[in-house]
Amino acid sequence: MIELIIEEGLEERIEACGLDPLVAERAVAAVLQAEAVAASVEVSLLLTDDARLQELNRSYRGLDEPTDVLSFADDGDASPFVAHPEAPVYLGDIAISFERVLAQAAEYGHSPARELAYLAAHGTLHLLGYDHERGPEDAAAMRLREEAAMATLGLSR
What pLDDT shows up at residue 104?
95
- Give me the residues of the chain with pLDDT under 50, please: none
Strand partners, 150: none
Structural domains of the chain sorted by starting position, each given as residue range(s) with its CATH number in brackets: 2-152 (3.40.390.30)
- Class of residue 102 by CB neighbours under 10 A (exposed 0-12, middle 13-18, buried 19+): middle
Taking the CB of residue 71, how many other CB atoms lie within 10 A of it?
Answer: 20
Beta strands in the chain (DSSP E): 2-6, 41-48, 69-73, 89-97
Q: Give residue 73's pLDDT.
A: 87
3-class SS letters over 57-91: HHHHHCCCCCCCEEEEECCCCCCCCCCCCCCCEEE
Backbone angle region of 127, left / alpha / beta, with phi > 0 → left and psi within -120 to 50 → alpha: alpha
Q: What is the pLDDT of residue 76?
A: 63
Amino acid 81: pLDDT:
59
